[in-house]
Structure 1
Amino acid sequence: MTKKQRINQTIKSGIFGLLTGIVLGVVGYLWAHATNLLIDIEGFGLGRMVLWFPMIGYGVIGVGIVVFAFGILQLIRGFSAKNKHVEKSEAVKKTQQDAIVAERSLFDKGRIKGVIFDLDGTLLDTIDDLTDALNSAITVYGYPAKTSDEVMAVVGNGMANMVRRVVNPETTEEEIQEILKAFLDAYDMNYQNKTKPYEGIHELLRELNSKGYLLGVISNKRLEYTQELIKNLFSDIPFVDVIGDHVEYPRKPDPTTTQLIVQEMMVSSSQVVFVGDSQVDIETAHNANVPVIACTWGFRSISELDEAKPDYYAHTPKEIYDIIVSINHSSASQS
C-alpha cells in the first residue's frame, strides 16, 4: 500500500468512526429514553430488572462517544498527513522543474550542442554477426575460422579492409573481391541476428535527445547496413544524419563526413563532440577539429586508444553524458 493510500484509509476510518459514534449515540439515547418512560408507567410488571434497561442505553452512548472521538483523531491524523504529503509532493515537483530549467539553461549557455557517434563498438555490439559472416566466407576459401577477438582487431576501416587483413598477403585483388562478396552475402542475411545496443546506450540517446542535443552517426560500415541498424534498433531516436561507407564520401578518418554533419546541425565544430571506440574515430575527430570522447567498451584496448590521444575517456554510456554536462558547465561559468 502506498503512502497516499494509507492516508486515504486513515481518513476513511475517521469518517466511519464519526458516523458510527453518532449512530451509537442516537441509538443509546433513544433506548435510555424509551426505557425510562416504561419504568414510569404504573403497573409495568417486569420487576426491578427493568431498572437496568436505561443503563444499557447510557453504555451505548458512552461507546458512541469513544468511537466518535476516535473518528475525530483519525481525521486529524489523516488530513494532517495529507497536507504534509501534498506539500512534499509540490516541493519535489518544484525541485524537478527547477532542475529541468537549470539543465535547459546549461544547454542554452553551454558549448556542446551536438554529438556524433561511431556505430560498431560504440553504439552497437556487432562483433558476433561480423564474425559469423566473415568465417562463413573465409573458411570456404581454405582460411581458418577467426575468433571474435581476432575479428575485433580488424574492424574499423571498412569491410573490404577487414577481408584484406585476414587473408594472406599474396592473395590477389580478384580473390579478395570474391571473398568480400561472399562475406557481404553472408552478412546481408545475418547482420541483425545477434547485434544489439550496448547496455545504457539507448538510455543515453534518449537523455541527450530529451535535453535538445543534436545527434548524428558516422560509420565505415556500408551505408545500407548502417542506416538499417539505426532505423531498426533506435527507431524512437531522431538523428540529423546517419552516414555509412558510400562512394560519395571518403571514409573516416577523412573529416568530410564529420564536417558535413556539423553543417547539417548548423553549429560550429567546437560545439560538437565525437564519440568513438577506435584510433580511426579519434583521428577523424582530430582532423575535423572536434573534441573526442573515447569509449572503452568497444573494439580497442585503452593502450591503443592512448596512442591516438583522445580528449576524454568514457567507461560507461552515462559517463558520456556526464562529460558533456561537465564541458557545458565549464563553458557556461566562463561566459
Structure 2
Amino acid sequence: MGQHSEKRFKAVIFDLDGTLLDTLRDIAEAMNRTLVAFGLKPYPIEAYKNFVGEGARVLAEKVLPQKLRTQENIEHLRQQFISDYRSNWNHYTKPYDGIPELLDTLVQMGIDLAVLSNKPHAFTIACVESFLAKWPFKMALGEKEDIPRKPDPKGATIIAKELDISPNEIIFVGDTKIDMKTAQNAKMFPCGVLWGFRTQEELSKNGAKALLKKPMDLINLFHS
C-alpha cells in the first residue's frame, strides 16, 4: 500500500478505440456497408482514422457528402450504422501489440485502470468485457445521454471520484486531440499514443505532455 501511495500517478484512464483496441476495420466496414445501402460510395479503411473519435453521430456526419448533411440524414445513417455494428463489432477488433504486457505491469504496480470512450456506452462495455476482461478495470464509460462526449471533462471527473483519486494523480491516455483536450479540461496528465488513429503533430499541438511510441513506454512516466 505504501508503494502505491508514493507514486506521482495512481491511475490511468485509457481511451478505447485507437488506444487499447484496434477497432478501425470493424467500424469502417460497418459504416461502408451502411453507406452502400444508402446508395453512397464507401471509403478506404484508412480514411476512417480521421472520421472516428467523436462518437457515432459525428462519424455519420463526416462520412456524408456535404450536400446530404441534414439532421435527418445524419440521424438515419447513425441509427443504421449502429444496427450493423451491433452485429459485426468484433470480427477484427483486438488489443494492440504490447497492450496486454502494459496492463499486466500496471496491475502489478497497483495502478488503478479505467476506460473513457466516445463509443456508445453499450459497445464500450462489450469491448472491455470481450477483450480486456483479464484486467481489473475499475470503471468503463462510453457515450451516454447523461455524460457529454469528450472533450467535456464530466466522464473523466466521474471516474476520478469513483476511484477516489485526485485528477492530477491520473494519466489520461489517448490517440486524438479530443483525448488531450479531455485530459486538460479534467486537470489530468495528457499522454498521447503514436500507434493509434491520429498523428504526432495533432497530439503535440493539442497539449500532449508525453508521447508513447509503444505501450510499455507508459511505465517510464511512473519513474520520472
TM-score for both structures, normalised by structure 2: 0.96
CA contact (8 A) 2:35 2:41 kept: yes
Shift of 1:324: 2.4
Residue 130 of structure 1 aligns with which residue? 27
Q: Choose 173-182 or 133-142, whichever is displaced more.
A: 173-182
Report the CA distance between 1:307 and its aligned residue.
1.4
Q: What is the 5 A alignment of 1:9-88?
A: none
User: Structure 2 matches for 1:121-270, cutoff 5 A?
Assistant: 121-171=18-68, 172-270=70-168
Moved more, 301-310 or 190-199: 301-310
**Alignment partner of 1:240: what SS?**
strand
Identity %, equivalent residues: 33
**C-alpha distance in structure 1 between counterparts of 2:164 and 2:7, whole Å:** 16
1:209-239 Cα distance to aligned partner (Å, 9 max, x none): 1211111100000001000110111112111
Query: Retained in 1: the 8 A contact 2:22–2:94?
Result: yes
**Could you tell me how far apart the structure 1 residues matched to 2:108 and 2:159 are?**
20
Contact 2:168-2:187 within 8 A present in 1 as well:
yes
Return the alpha-carbon distance in structure 2 between the equivalents of residues 319 and 135 of structure 1.
Answer: 35
Aligned partner of residue 227 in structure 1, secondary structure: helix
Q: Which structure is higher in helix share?
A: 1
Q: Runs of 4 or more off by more than 4 Å in structure 1?
A: none
DSSP-derived class of the 2:67 partner: coil
Post-superposition Cα deviations, 1:124-148, rounded to whole Å, max 9, x if no partner, equal: 0000000100000011222211111
The residue type equivalent to 1:204 in the other structure is L
Paired positions, count: 223
Aligned partner of 1:274 among 172, 176, 187: 172
Q: CA deviation at 1:169?
A: 2.1
1:251-330 equivalences in 2 (<5 Å): 251-326=149-224
Deviation by residue 1:233-287 (Cα, 9 ceiling, x = unmatched): 1112111110000001111000011111111111111111100000000000000
- The structure number with the bigger radius of gyration is 1
Q: Deviations over 1:11-61 (max 9, x none)?
A: xxxxxxxxxxxxxxxxxxxxxxxxxxxxxxxxxxxxxxxxxxxxxxxxxxx
Instruction: Please give the TM-score of this superposition, normalised by the length of structure 1.
Output: 0.65
Helix, strand or coil: the match of 1:180? Answer: helix
The amino acid of 1:235's aligned partner reads A
Unaligned runs of 5+ in 2: none
Distance in 1 (CA, whole Å) between partners of 2:37 and 2:88 is 17
